Structure 1
Amino acid sequence: MNARLSSPPRAALMLSVALAGIAAASCTPGSQIGSTAQNAGPARAGGAGAFAPYDAQARRLLAQMTLAEKIGQMTQADHEFIKDPADVQRYFLGSVLSGGSSDPASGNNPRDWEGMYTNYQRIAVGTRLKIPLLYGVDAVHGHNNVLGAVVFPHNIGLGATRNPQLVQRIGQITADEVRATGPNWAFAPCICVPRDERWGRTYEGFSEDPQLVSTLGEAAVRGLQGRSLNDPLTVLASSKHFAGDGATSMGTGGPDKRFLDQGDARMDEATLRRIHIFPYKAAVDAGVGSIMPSYNSWNGVKVSGIRYLLTDVLKGELGFGGFLISDYRAVDQIDPDYKTAIEKSINAGMDMVMVPDRYPEFIRLLTELVNENRVPMSRIDDAVVRILRVKIAMGLMDPSWTPQPDAAARSRFGSAEHRAVARQAVRESMVLLKNDRGALPIRSGLRRIHVAGRSADNLGFQTGGWTVDWQGKSGEVMPGGTTVLAAIRKAAGSGTQVTFAQNGTGAAGADLGVVVIGEPPYAEGQGDRADLSLDPADAASVAAMKAAGIPVVVVLISGRPMILGPVLEQADALVAAWLPGTEGDGVADVLFGAYKPTGKLSYSWPASMAQIPINVGDADYRPLFPFGFGLTY
């Protein structure tokens, strides 16, 4: 760690935007920090105050613990790599996760998850102190790992809704479906501020604007955690990734030389605070119980090892009273020597470490570091107290606690009620970018509608990454979902013939063409792209439809703004549908006029690759469609 970051640079701090007065610091002119508290449920003491009532009980429990039990609480293993479930007792593990593709061995339905979860908890409470586990899942747009769950639009779409009440409701439903299967911790919401659309995690961010991210991120925390963390229908939230993950520079990736992901955010402290730390104040004030530091570096130093950011700023200035959980194997990247990496991260303020497969080694090395006085016992105790306070707040130490999922929640899993909210989210997220000659809404009484495009009848493309598999996949990935093509057929009614050819051929004689184009699914790392031009096959399907001489409506399914090229001119109407999830009926609601489009761009839309990165507030700001743009009928 360089000298500048090993101790707080107080002079720089005074010159930067003070977090106490950060409310007016958003990059959007005239914006101020928003609170959804008046619209998003009851007020709750935030910051350290949210967990202070549980401090005395946590410290009484801490006083009974051995070093092995303490370090066990700081360790999170992945179910995929736990060869023997008895390891939960053997190592006194405090947490287990299921990564993006880490399903129960018995299958991937709610009952399988319940069985796996309750078995792990049964083993955990068999330890001397009977401390239950935190079980974490990447429920980032619904309980997206589990077959039959309702999958909501990714955050980029929710940003276009500008609706914190809806985002809070989505958080509540996500928590309900997660708890229906057992787990009690969601690695969400992502409150990154993506500033370069080439980054493969752009769709995980609500917006390029820190104010909008702050408002919706706060709503998501309140939805997931509810009125009280000890409510059995809520989950622990984890705001991520602190801080600067959306600002990495080209060609500065991690050990595997990734293009943007896990790279270096090169900026001064004032900019880091104004844009990328900004949303965390609202999350902390909302009482978020865990925060995940980022893989990325800040000016060449891995954030997960920077004490100034994790301890002085986040825990000190912002008053965060929960605990920090590292990202998946993130600590490994801090130093080539694993033991030294652990030392740096724990001393920087990391409280729990996600070590999916190396947990025995991690526990052994951290124990050595304490015995060698390289990690002080006071830092271990602080980390464990933070974890225990959250567990106590969640009711895990109550005599009446049970690992069994709530029966009512189980009955609501994937329900029509939940799907109706997802459908609303799809409707409100859609942004109408072009509508010439009244192409939309689709009028009733048409004889034939011809549909084309790779994304028209592909639920995997529609839901995107983090859906059943980490990177997502093509095809019918989620039972109960409705593709855009199926939704169009329902909305058109029996009097209108709906034909389909993926490549756009066969359109001659149709009254209207609808081409659904976009990106195949991807997630972090693999989603980084140097060129955001549309796929040639998609462009060809639009051109083929246009050649038939009929009005053409283009629906774009994507995780970011794309370079439209000639498609913009060929389309009579163009709608950005983002990654809408399982409820394709919401797309049809807008196309057929049952719902007038209200979505507004939460990202600036570039005209060419030469403009990227482009963000509202740039000195030379000439996007194809500006931040906040959106037509209606």
Structure 2
Amino acid sequence: MKRTITLLLLTFYCTIGSAQNNATDKKIAELLSKMTLEEKIGQMTQITLGTFEEKGKPGLSLAKLNEGIQKYYIGSVLNTPNRYSPDTKEWRQIMTTIHNANSKNRLPIPVLYGIDAIHGASYTMGATLFPQQIGMAATFNTEIVKKGAEISAYETRASSIPWVFSPDLDLPRNPAWSRIWESFGEDTYLTSRMGEAMVNGFEGGNIGSKYHVASCMKHFIGYGSTTTGKDRTPSIIPERVLRQFDLPIYEAAIKAGAKSVMISSGEINGTPVHASKYLITDVLKKELGFKGVVVTDWKDIIYLHTRHKVAETNREAVKIAVLAGVDMSMVPEDYSFCIDLLDLVNKGEIPMSRIDDAVSRILKMKIELNLFEGTVADPKQYPKFGSAEFINEAYNAAAESITLLRNKNAVLPLNKNEKILVTGPTANSMVALNGGWTYTWQGDKTDELVPDKLTILEAIQQKAGTSNVLYTKGADLALENEDEINKAVALAKDASKIILCLGEKNYTETPGDITSLYITAPQIKLALALVKLNKPIILVLNEGRPRLISDFEDKIDAIVQCYLPGNEGGRALAAILYGEVNPSGRLPYNYPRFPNSLEKYNRKYTESLADSEQNDDAKYQRSYNPQFEFGTGLSYTTFEYSNLKLDKTEVNSNDEIKVSVDVTNTGRMAGKESVLLYLSDLYASITPEVKALKRFEKIVLAPNETKTVQFTLNQKDLQFVNNDLKWISEKGTFKVQIGNQNKQFVLK
């Protein structure tokens, strides 16, 4: 009976879905039949809001807005006012002004507004801000990531904005890259699962809901793999590698329902991605079956002419990109795209079929978002905006992301009655806790915009009392200041322990490019001065990428990586330092020791060869010797793995493999443990990885509690991409590793 009811419900919902699709297709066809070429091209055009402002004056210029909407029929707007991030009331005013201008058009197709909601509704004052993506990856908890995206969607919709340029699905290959903190780290499987969770949270299976938004996966493809580590510089990625490690991430997000994709600003093997019909049309749209909107990043069609030099004119750049498969151009500051595209179509250089395909995709997303029913949010429908409930979720996310990397002699947790020194340039800064894409592009105004939020120092003072907490800045991030170092050394003499807060300035994109991966010189000098005192030091790293600390790390007693944990990060860190929260984060990347040793955890065997003839120091007699490996993360309790079982020792090409392992909390404190399953293909015709993450699950265990964790591996987990660009598996032996346990099975 239950099966019958289930089949009837499935049939019912499939019928409804089919009817909705038919209605959508019919509406798109009707609109296309009525639209002029100019109106269609307008739908393909995205302009930044600042274009409609008068320089130095608040508010929008109606004359400039009317030019964009009523002369060029622009279909999309992005970004914030040039001077500030609005609150929800101001966002409603902006959207109302745009709606009123658009309503005067012959065909008032609603304007689609997009925003960089990177770690929450980060361009809306009062919104709930979560850890940046790299910290969310460190939770190894897809439910936290999904919940964070749901809250971000709710608060973005409360801002009358239906489209977010997130998640970032880039796979960084160089830790110096300035956008590594916007990614989920260096692993394909982890990024795929986190990306799925974020898409599901944003979209909720129904982007027409007033509490969900359309997501935009970015940046397709290879953007995070620049050979120099500098932003928007060339990548060299063999297609076999691209297909095995990068493409599956986007494939997973597409299957999850992502409605749009932003194209990489970079080039791969000499071809800018915006110029690649193969990657955008043949691979993304045809092979992966992506039916959504393909949008450029900032000015990237223009850059085909001015930067990449593959187009002699802007007109040629427009032609190349649109024929490659771009549906919407983030122009974003003029109407050159409209003018050039109109000329290209009128002269027969771009077929109308390509225009209609692009516009159909855009109209479909607008219909699915229910924008034809209204674009301005009703504030009464969003009572939870910025609520204590949402803030608590952000706090929990920060608490699960913070990663304990060392705890020598159990120096942590701290005692609230002991006197400590808090020092370092990131100790008293909300800018440092949040990083870029926070109220402004570079996140430089966060301290003044959220005075009620707690820095690391303030959160520690709240826990231990100001009388037990000494403070001095100790050093600047970039400028040498001997006086500050001397102050820190003097104060440290009166403290039992030192909390040393080091990290980076705020940045994203090209302004974050660096020439050295080492943490900055003033911070190294501060650390070296303090370690001479022979007092316990707790190093708190507050950074977007792993800056090298090998000049002094061996003299540090405890190391805590808090990444960019957001507005609630100071509170979460203090709770961990004082033992109120048991840390459970794990590194989503290898933390390198030296600038010329940047191997990933899933390295090849030849990257682990001994090189003792080059280096006599026994400590460094292997070329693979990261400071901390991917997946590293300690707890205040201890976990023991036992009884690893495989349901088969021999499998054929159709079998699944069921894996189970027992995990026991052998300590005295409840804790959360991320159980990571790695798989190794011991021999293969393409040199295999030493190990690759294939499954993970986060569990909670009380003291002395044991749980059995179960995983199922399928045939895709055993496969790799060969030189014919085909996914294959080969007969041979595979090893499963979970914790200190491992078992082998044979594929026959």
TM-score (norm 1): 0.87
1:416 correspondence with 2:392: no
Q: CA deviation at 1:595?
A: 1.4
Distance 1:329 1:618 in 2: 38
Residue 204 of structure 2 is matched in structure 1 by 226
- The within-5 A match list for 1:256-271 is 260-271=230-241
Indicate which of 169, 175, 191 corresponds to 1:197.
175
Residue 449 of structure 1 is matched in structure 2 by 420
Distance 1:352 1:141 in 2: 24
- The within-5 A match list for 1:459-470 is 459-470=430-441
1:346 correspondence with 2:322: yes
Indicate which of 71, 84, 97 corresponds to 2:78.
97
Identify, as 1 or 2, the structure richer in strand. 2
2:278–2:324 contact (8 Å) kept in structure 1: yes
Indicate which of 246, 250, 255 corresponds to 1:285.
255
Residue 371 of structure 2 is matched in structure 1 by 396
Structure 1, unmatched stretches of 5+, are 1-43, 251-258
Indicate which of 350, 373, 376 corresponds to 2:348.
373
Distance 2:344 2:430 in 1: 49
Residue 88 of structure 1 is matched in structure 2 by 69
Residue 444 of structure 2 is matched in structure 1 by 473
CA separation of 1:566 and 1:218: change in aligned 2, threshold 3 A: same
What one-letter code is carried by the residue in structure 2 that aligns with 1:551? P
What one-letter code is carried by the residue in structure 2 that aligns with 1:603? Y
Q: CA deviation at 1:222?
A: 1.0
Q: CA deviation at 1:412?
A: 2.8
CA RMSD of aligned residues (A): 2.1
| 1:21-76 C-alpha deviation (Å, 9 max, x unpaired) | xxxxxxxxxxxxxxxxxxxxxxx99xx99995522321221111111110010000
CA separation of 1:136 and 1:575: change in aligned 2, threshold 3 A: same
CA separation of 1:50 and 1:285: change in aligned 2, threshold 3 A: farther
Q: CA deviation at 1:395?
A: 1.0
Distance 2:102 2:260 in 1: 21
CA separation of 1:535 and 1:606: change in aligned 2, threshold 3 A: same
The structure with the larger Rg is 2
Distance 2:231 2:207 in 1: 32
Residue 130 of structure 1 is matched in structure 2 by 108
1:484 correspondence with 2:448: no
Query: Which structure's relative contact order is higher, taking Cα pairs within 8 Å and 6+ residues apart?
Result: 1
- The within-5 A match list for 1:554-569 is 554-569=539-554
Distance 1:314 1:90 in 2: 33
1:183 correspondence with 2:169: no
1:196–1:613 contact (8 Å) kept in structure 2: no
Residue 593 of structure 2 is matched in structure 1 by 607
| 1:552-571 C-alpha deviation (Å, 9 max, x unpaired) | 11100001112112331232
Indicate which of 318, 326, 337 corresponds to 2:313.
337
**3-state SS, counterpart of residue 498 of structure 2:** strand
CA separation of 1:176 and 1:408: change in aligned 2, threshold 3 A: farther
1:179–1:409 contact (8 Å) kept in structure 2: no
Q: CA deviation at 1:472?
A: 2.1
Q: CA deviation at 1:142?
A: 1.0
Distance 2:169 2:294 in 1: 15
Indicate which of 620, 630, 633 corresponds to 2:633.
630
- The within-5 A match list for 1:96-245 is 96-98=77-79, 102-103=80-81, 108-245=86-223
Residue 284 of structure 2 is matched in structure 1 by 314
| 331-340 or 406-415, larger mean C-alpha shift | 406-415
**3-state SS, counterpart of residue 512 of structure 2:** coil
Distance 2:103 2:193 in 1: 38
What one-letter code is carried by the residue in structure 1 that aligns with 2:578? F
Distance 1:119 1:474 in 2: 27
Distance 1:49 1:245 in 2: 37
1:550 correspondence with 2:550: no
Identity of aligned residues (%): 36
Distance 2:401 2:594 in 1: 24
CA separation of 1:497 and 1:50: change in aligned 2, threshold 3 A: farther
Structure 2, unmatched stretches of 5+, are 1-12, 54-63, 305-310, 475-487, 608-623, 637-748
TM-score (norm 2): 0.74
2:550–2:627 contact (8 Å) kept in structure 1: no
| 1:184-220 C-alpha deviation (Å, 9 max, x unpaired) | 1111010101110111111111010111111001111
1:598 correspondence with 2:584: yes
Distance 1:424 1:63 in 2: 51
Q: CA deviation at 1:477?
A: 4.4
CA separation of 1:611 and 1:49: change in aligned 2, threshold 3 A: farther
Q: CA deviation at 1:611?
A: 0.8
| 531-540 or 458-467, larger mean C-alpha shift | 531-540
| 1:525-550 C-alpha deviation (Å, 9 max, x unpaired) | 12122311112222233334434443
1:181–1:410 contact (8 Å) kept in structure 2: no
Aligned length: 571
Q: CA deviation at 1:408?
A: 4.3
| 74-83 or 213-222, larger mean C-alpha shift | 74-83
Distance 1:476 1:538 in 2: 21
Q: CA deviation at 1:82?
A: 2.4
CA separation of 1:618 and 1:482: change in aligned 2, threshold 3 A: farther
CA separation of 1:338 and 1:462: change in aligned 2, threshold 3 A: same
What one-letter code is carried by the residue in structure 2 that aligns with 1:516? C
Distance 1:409 1:192 in 2: 35
Distance 1:628 1:587 in 2: 20
Indicate which of 553, 562, 580 corresponds to 2:565.
580
Residue 642 of structure 2 is matched in structure 1 by none
